[in-house]
Amino acid sequence: MPALLGRVKQPVMVVAPYLSERVRELLAQGGASYADATGNVRVVVSRPAVFIEGVGSSQDPERVPRPLHSLRGAAAGRVVRALVELELPKGVRELAAAASTPLGTVSRVVSFLEAEALVTRDQRKRVLAVDALALLSRWSKDYTLTKSNELHQVLEPRGLPALWRKLGGLPRYAATGSTAGPGIAPTRIAMLYVDDPEEAARSLDLVPAEAGANVWLLRPYDEVVFERTRQRTLLFEGDGRRRAVQDSEVDIVTVSAAQAIVDLLSSPGRGPEEAQALMETWGKGEQRGA
Give the start-to-end residue ranges of the domains of the chain.
Answer: 2-54, 74-139, 145-278
**Residue 262 CB contacts under 8 Å (≥ 6 apart), including other chains:** 136, 139, 140, 143, 275
Report the percent of the chain where pLDDT is more than 90. Answer: 64
**Residue 23 CB contacts under 8 Å (≥ 6 apart), including other chains:** 1
73-127 pLDDT per residue, tens: 999 999 999 999 999 999 999 999 999 999 999 999 999 999 889 999 999 999 9
114-155 pLDDT per residue, tens: 988 999 999 999 999 999 999 999 999 999 999 999 999 999
285 pLDDT band, cuts 50/70/90, is very low
**In this predicted structure, what is the pLDDT of residue 24?**
87
Answer yes or no: is pLDDT of 287 > 70.
Answer: no
How does the average pLDDT of the chain come out, rounded?
A: 87
206-247 pLDDT per residue, tens: 999 978 899 999 999 999 999 999 999 988 665 444 444 345
254-265 pLDDT per residue, tens: 999 999 999 999
Counting Cα atoms < 13 Å in the Cβ hemisphere of 122 gives 11
Choices 1.10.10.10, 3.40.630.10, 3.40.50.2000, 3.40.50.880: CATH for 74-139 = 1.10.10.10
Neighbours of 10 (CB within 10 A): 5
